[in-house]
Amino acid sequence: MLRQNTGANDPNVALTMELETSDPFFLDAGRGSFRSNVNELSDGAVCAGALVLPPGRRLDGRGPLVSRRERTPPIRPMEEPNRGAELRAAGWVEQEVRRYERLSAYRSRWGAANLDRDERRFLRSAEAVLSRRQPASAPVIGAGLGPLPQGCFVALDFETADQGRDSACSIALVRVEGGTIVHREHRLIRPPRRTFQFTSIHGISWSQVANAPTFAELWPQLAAALEGAQFIAAHNASFDAGVLRACCEQAGLRPPVQPFLCTVQVARRAWNLRPTKLPDVCRHLGLPLQHHDALSDAEACANIVLAARRDGTAG
C-alpha cells in the first residue's frame, strides 16, 4: 500500500511516502531516509513508515516506487558497444567488468546524479581506459585551418535548460547532401533536472518536456542522420560539441566521431564579419532566422556553410 504526500508546502522535502511492504530492498540507504517503527526486518517482514526523498532524488534500485511527478517511462533497449569485452581485453578482472556494466546500466536509466561519488569515480576510470582503446575523436575545426570541407554534412543545434552541458532540452539536425538540404529533424528532450534557467531565451519550460524522451532514449533514433556525414556544422561549435559529449557521457553512449565545423569561423573568413553572432551572419546573408529555435538555428547554420561554398572564399 502506498500513500504519498508531494510536500508541496515544504520546499525542503520533494516527496514523502507512507508504505507497507514485505521487500526490505526499499530500505537501501543513501538515496533518502526511511523512518520506520520496525527495528529489524527479515524476509517476509512487513514494515510501515515514511520514506523521505530529498529534492530531485528518486528511490534507488528497481524504481517501481517513484513519485508520479518524477515518473520516468521505461527506456527501450539500445544496442551498446561491447565495452565489457574491451575492459577484459585491457586486463580488468571479471568482478570489475560486471560492476562497470551494472553501474553503467543504472546511470543510463536513472542518471549520474543518483550515483555516489565512488561509483562516479569508478565509471570515469573505466571510461578513461575505454577512450584509450578507441580512436581519438576529431577536434572542432574552423575555416582557418584549411579549405572548407566538402561532401555531406549535418548542421546541429542544441538548446539547454540550465548551466550544465548535459541539460539539452531541444535538438535539431539538418542534413545536407549535394548542396541541398534533404532532411530536417527537431525534437524536445527531457533533461536530467527539472530546473530551467533559460526559458526566457528559448521559450522552453519543464511542462513542455516532462513527457518528452530523454537523450538516452532519443539519440539512437537521431544518430542515423549522421551516417555518411563528413562533418557536423554548428554556430559556436565548441558549445554544441560540449553539449553532445556531456549528454552522451550522461547517457552512457559514445559520441559521434565526425569533427565539428564552426560557422563562426566560416563567416569570419568568408566575409570578414564582426560581430559574428548568428543573427548578424543571417542578416548579412539575408537568411530567415527565429533565433534560439533549434531547427531555425540549425538550418541557418547549414545555409551559412552552403553560402560560403558558393562564394568560394572560405577555402
* pLDDT one-digit tens code per residue, 7-60: 444 444 434 333 333 333 333 333 343 333 333 333 333 334 444 444 444 444
Cα separation, 263 vs 268, in Å, equals 8
User: Average pLDDT over the chain, rounded to whole?
Assistant: 76
In what helix (H) or strand (E) does residue 232 lie, and over which residues does it extend? strand 231-234
116 to 87, 106, 240: CA distances (angstroms) = 22, 12, 28
What are residue 223's phi and psi, to 5 degrees?
A: -60, -25
d(C-alpha 98, C-alpha 137), whole Å: 27
Find, among 244, 241, 230, the residue nearest to 309 by Cα: 230
Per-residue pLDDT of the chain (315 residues; tens, 9 = 90+): 444 444 444 444 434 333 333 333 333 333 343 333 333 333 333 334 444 444 444 444 444 333 333 343 333 333 345 677 777 877 888 888 889 888 887 876 677 777 888 888 888 888 777 766 554 444 556 544 456 778 999 999 999 999 899 999 999 999 999 999 999 999 999 999 999 999 999 999 999 999 999 999 999 999 999 999 999 999 999 999 999 999 999 898 989 999 999 999 999 999 999 999 999 999 999 999 999 999 999 999 999 999 999 987 544
**For residue 260, what are the β-bridge partners?**
140, 232
pTM of the model: 0.58
- The predicted-structure confidence for 237-254, as pLDDT tens digits, reads as follows 999 999 999 999 989 898
Torsion from C-alpha of 144, 146, 151, 157, nearest 10 degrees? -30
Phi, psi at 233, each rounded to 5°: -100, 140
Q: Are 168 and 215 in contact (CB under 8 A)?
A: yes
Count of C-beta atoms within a 10 Å radius of residue 1: 7
- CA angle (39, 40, 42) in 5-degree steps: 155
Is-contact 273 263, C-beta < 8 A?
A: no
CB atoms within 10 A of CB 21: 18
The answer for residues whose C-beta is within 8 angstroms of residue 223's C-beta and 6 or more apart is 256
Per-residue cell: 97: 567488468
Strands, sheet with 180-188, edge to edge from the N-terminal-most edge strand: 140-141, 260-262, 231-234, 153-160, 168-177, 180-188
Give the three-class secondary structure for 95: helix
* Torsion angle of the four alpha carbons 245, 255, 125, 238, in this order, in degrees rounded to the nearest 10: -30
Q: Decide which of 3.30.420.10, 3.40.50.720, 2.30.110.10, 2.70.98.60 is the CATH code for 141-311.
A: 3.30.420.10
In angstroms, the CA 146 to CA 315 distance is 6
Domain residue spans of the chain:
2-70, 83-132, 141-311
